[in-house]
Structure 1
Amino acid sequence: MMNELVAKKYVKALAKEFDFETLQNVSEVLMALAEALNDDKIKAVIYSPEVSKEKRSEILVAALSGTKSKEIENFIKLLVENNRVELVADIATVLQSYIANQKREFSGIVYSDSDIDEKILNELSTGLGKRFDSTIALSYVKSDFDGIKVEVDGLGVEISFSRSRISDQIVDHILKAI
């Protein structure tokens, strides 16, 4: 959680510095770097106390030499200088989320104990997209939830319909009517 808060500050600075298209490229670069930093051999070198900050900077900047962007190189050097290299994955994730919010494109998950047809997923996506003025891509995950639950993280939306709850409400309504 603390890492995410710090990552948000870096993303805010990146968003101020770069235009939207460049920001998307920065996101791709950071995602690739985060993936590389997940490798155990690379971790051992980068996070070794025996490796100086200058050497870490050289290694990471050399890995990004294909980007030919002084701004990205300076950003990586800043992360190394402030001992924040471990935040690269968090920064990349927060940056992707920021870009999705700007583009109004979100992904969500539908949980249910019964199989859900692709057509129904598309209808749900379209309906939610219209409701929230966004493009929403939904994927299905089979679970033991008795009903249907839809979660769209970027929007903070969670919708659920429980079969047992609906049955209980129908019984209560009938009993009140009698």
Structure 2
Amino acid sequence: MSELATLARPYAAAVFKRAKETGSSEKWSKALAFLVSILSDSSLSAFINNPKVSNERLSELMLSISEGQIDTEGANFLKLLVQNRRLNLVPHIAKIFEEYKAEDEGYLDVDVYAAYDFSKEGRKVFSAKLEKRLGKKVNMNVTVDKSLIGGVLVRAGDKVIDGSVKGQLQHMQKALQ
């Protein structure tokens, strides 16, 4: 996973730089999300990963599928990925691009795993506390995970805040060993 992210980072940085230059971050965000969605199809994935399929044929297929969804720059980027046999990096490129975009716009995407769902008011209060602690506006994606037993687990970029009962029990177990 980290190897793929390492390979994807220069592509994401180049796309983000170009998006900043042209003021087209939202367009690139939508184009990358579209590519991620079509590449998640298992039959297309088998075709892409087939070494007998030529780059030209793969490029033609991808461009025909993407027609009307990506512009000329997006098509050129897609051709580059096909030429370098890096289509498998698209989900990682999109994720890193969104991280760059969020940082640039002054907000942070935060994944919150909670043992129970938040109430409307609880979500607002927790979001405000996270914003204060992280020093940025946050965009919370909440997932209910009953295995946490209680509390929350927060992933904000490279930071992890584990306030779950499960995490505390695991920490106690390690301390006792």
Question: How has the CA–CA distance of structure 1 residues 115 and 39 changed in structure 2, closer, same or farther, with 3 Å as cutoff?
Answer: closer
2: CA distance, partners of 1:34 / 1:71: 17
Can you give the 5+ residue segments of structure 1 that lack an aligned partner in the other structure?
166-178
Kindly provide the amino acid, as one letter, of the partner of residue 48 in structure 2: I
1: CA distance, partners of 2:10 / 2:92: 11
How do residues 1-178 of structure 1 correspond to structure 2 at under 5 angstroms? 1-19=2-20, 21-67=23-69, 69-103=71-105, 104-112=107-115, 116-136=118-138, 137=140, 139=142, 141-145=144-148, 147-154=150-157, 156-160=159-163
Rg (Cα) greater in structure? 1
Contact (CA 8 Å) 1:4, 1:90: kept in 2 or not?
yes
2: CA distance, partners of 1:76 / 1:115: 39
Contact (CA 8 Å) 2:32, 2:94: kept in 1 or not?
yes
Report SS of the residue matched to 1:51: coil
Tell me the TM-score normalized by structure 2. 0.77
2: CA distance, partners of 1:2 / 1:57: 25
Contact (CA 8 Å) 1:53, 1:80: kept in 2 or not?
yes
- What displacement does 1:45 show? 2.4
Contact (CA 8 Å) 2:16, 2:101: kept in 1 or not?
no
1: CA distance, partners of 2:57 / 2:65: 12
- What displacement does 1:141 show? 1.9
Q: How many residues align?
A: 163
Q: Percent identity?
A: 26
State the 4+ residue runs in structure 1 displaced beyond 3 angstroms: 114-118, 144-147
Question: How has the CA–CA distance of structure 1 residues 77 and 116 changed in structure 2, closer, same or farther, with 3 Å as cutoff?
Answer: closer
Kindly provide the amino acid, as one letter, of the partner of residue 19 in structure 2: F
